[in-house]
Chains A and B, each alone.
Chain A
Amino acid sequence: MERVSEGAEAIMFEIKLSGNPLLVKVRNRKSWRIANIDEELRKSRTRKEAKLMIMAKKAGAAVPGVAAIGKYSIFMQKIDGKLLKDSKPTAKEMQTIGRYLGYMHAKGITHGDFTSANLMLTTNGPYIIDFGLGNFSNSEEEKALDLLLLERSISKDDYANARKGYASVSKEYLTVISRLNEIKKRGRYQTRTLLS
């Protein structure tokens, strides 16, 4: 078992299952919060994340396949590729990313951290990873926030292409965009810039 990365909430390990590499995302114990809160959060978040991944895949987005779910861990397909934030995507790839987001939103799935650090480019096209902050929601606000995070994390041209892809499949495109414009006008987002 090899430790691949460590996030704020979970540790990623790589294991081999009959020769095939699998990633395991383990939500580790946080000793600074009381056990009642800690266990419930880790359990419910693991369950929710796995469900989001499965549903997003069903909706038509490219998402790592879920192999198994433990109490605090998700076993998933390992995706080989480069993070969007470290690569130069083609127009087609960006449109595909937009389309995937549109498919997810249509099924009431929001990602919650839809930035270039959570998108991967592979020879099989783009993949969406890390649903740790995702939600089952049909709120325009949460959908608009997915677009906002993407916009802030990539170049203008790349975003324009992604938006084109999103518009091509999303029935609620106009309402989400008008909410997005409203969010941008709010004080706290005007002055707030995201790190990317």
Chain B
Amino acid sequence: MAVIGIESSAHTFGVGIVDNGKVVANAKAMYKIGSKGMIPREVAETHLNNAANVIQEAVQEAGITFKEIEGIGYTKGPGIGHCLHVGLLSAKTLAKKLNIPIVPVNHGIGHIEIAKKRAKLRDPLALYVSGGNSQILKKYGDRYKILGETFDIGIGNMLDSLARSLELYPAWGSTVEKTAENGRYIEMPYTVKGMDFSFTGLLTHASKMKGKHNDKDICFSVQETAYAMLTEATERALLLTNSKELCVCGGVAQSKRLKRMLKGMAEEHNIKFGYAEDTFNADNGAMIALVAEQMLAHGRKAKLQECGIEQRYRIDEVKLWKE
């Protein structure tokens, strides 16, 4: 069955279509992040302007007609309220117009499920790293459990803030990664507590190094420290849960260095490691469609008037399905 998914939790308005678990379209339009980061009202406005076109584009890419779409999913949260509303509105409009079932989807679950699918993993421990989230999760029965997470900000947020304070543009993680090439290590605070970790101390310390050390060395040191923290916490969770598979997902999973570290760690323990292609690690509609299709197949359709958004929608609140 063809199911369409709409994602709009942050800077990306994405529309994906899946057909029996196969991604047949993944269209998106992004808000350009300037020196001030994301201004919610402006991002939402951009999404509103793009919504109709991106939906149209996805349907064309899939080579189907609107009539062939049998279900719709949208991101309920977590995310920026203004932005989520645009996705909700688009999804409700489509559901009503096409008279198809609708289901709210948790953004984080989208990231994990698409990584699982693309990497062909069955029951992995998941490291979910994005702008606002950094969590270590595993599915037990019909629910994901959070084993470890950030005490303060998400890793993506930390990298974006670092880029802004060093005045590197575009201010996001991949610029930090590029700047870090051939850097040398300067000491940074390293905060892991069991399977939890914290990034604000690292960010404050690194921001104070501006001017005293060159950007290259600061970026290198922050990146090595932050990724080592994540990898260490993940390693502990892997052994505790006795997992045989590991996946990394979310926007920051696009980082080559993070993947290399995780791969090295997984190899030491003979654990199968996988991840999705970059386009599915960045925010996208396909992952929402993928989860929506499964949820609808398990009878999780929602009443149209009950569909809403939740800015702090936590992964472990969601009842899913048993494998």
Q: A residues within 8 Å of B by Cβ? A: 7-9, 30-34, 36-37, 40-41, 112-113, 133, 187-188, 191-193, 195
User: How far apart are B263's CB and chain A's nearest CB, in angstroms?
Assistant: 8
C-alpha spacing A31/B261, complex, angstroms: 9
CB contact list, B148-175 vs A, under 8 A: 149
Chain B residues near A9 (CB-CB < 8 A) = 232, 236
Q: Are B147 and A191 in contact (CB under 8 A)?
A: no
Q: Are B241 and A195 in contact (CB under 8 A)?
A: yes
Q: Are A37 and B194 in contact (CB under 8 A)?
A: no
Q: Are B193 and A112 in contact (CB under 8 A)?
A: yes
Task: Tell which of B187, B228, B312 touches A33, judged by Cβ atoms closer than 8 Å.
Answer: B228
C-alpha spacing A188/B231, complex, angstroms: 21
- Given contacts A31-B264, A31-B268, A33-B261, could you give 9 more A-B pairs where the C-beta distance is less than 8 Å? A7-B239, A9-B232, A32-B228, A32-B265, A33-B232, A34-B185, A40-B187, A41-B190, A193-B145
Chain A residues near B265 (CB-CB < 8 A) = 30, 32
Contact with A along B224-266 (1 / 0, CB 8 A): 1100100110011011110000000000000000001111110
Q: Are A37 and B225 in contact (CB under 8 A)?
A: yes
Chain A residues near B314 (CB-CB < 8 A) = 187, 191
C-alpha spacing A8/B231, complex, angstroms: 11
Q: Are B224 and A133 in contact (CB under 8 A)?
A: no
Known: A8-B239, A32-B231, A37-B224. A195 touches B264 (CB 8 A): no
Chain B residues near A30 (CB-CB < 8 A) = 232, 265, 268
Q: 7 nearest interchain CB pairs?
A: A32-B264, A33-B228, A8-B236, A36-B185, A32-B261, A8-B239, A8-B235
Counting chain B residues whose Cβ lies within 8 A of the other chain, the interface size class is 20 to 34
Chain B residues near A195 (CB-CB < 8 A) = 145, 147, 240-241
6 A–B contacts from the bound complex (CB under 8 Å): A8-B238, A32-B231, A36-B185, A37-B190, A40-B187, A187-B314
Chain A residues near B149 (CB-CB < 8 A) = 188
Q: Are A191 and B316 in contact (CB under 8 A)?
A: yes
User: How far apart are A52's CB and chain B's nearest CB, in angstroms?
Assistant: 15
B317 at the interface (CB under 8 A from A): yes
C-alpha spacing A31/B228, complex, angstroms: 11
C-alpha spacing A19/B146, complex, angstroms: 46
Chain B residues near A133 (CB-CB < 8 A) = 193-194
What residue of chain A has the Cβ atom nearest to residue B235's Cβ?
A8
Chain A residues near B236 (CB-CB < 8 A) = 8-9
Chain A residues near B231 (CB-CB < 8 A) = 32-33
Q: Are B239 and A32 in contact (CB under 8 A)?
A: no
What residue of chain B has the Cβ atom nearest to residue A38's Cβ?
B228
C-alpha spacing A34/B262, complex, angstroms: 13
Task: Tell which of B193, B194, B224 touches A34, judged by Cβ atoms closer than 8 Å.
Answer: B224
Q: Are A113 and B194 in contact (CB under 8 A)?
A: yes
Chain A residues near B312 (CB-CB < 8 A) = 187
Q: Are B146 and A32 in contact (CB under 8 A)?
A: no
Chain A residues near B240 (CB-CB < 8 A) = 8, 195
User: How far apart are B186's CB and chain A's nearest CB, in angstroms?
Assistant: 9
C-alpha spacing A133/B197, complex, angstroms: 13
User: How far apart are A40's CB and chain B's nearest CB, in angstroms?
Assistant: 8
C-alpha spacing A7/B232, complex, angstroms: 12
Q: Are A112 and B194 in contact (CB under 8 A)?
A: yes
C-alpha spacing A161/B85, complex, angstroms: 51
Chain B residues near A32 (CB-CB < 8 A) = 228, 231, 260-265, 268
User: How far apart are B225's CB and chain A's nearest CB, in angstroms?
Assistant: 6
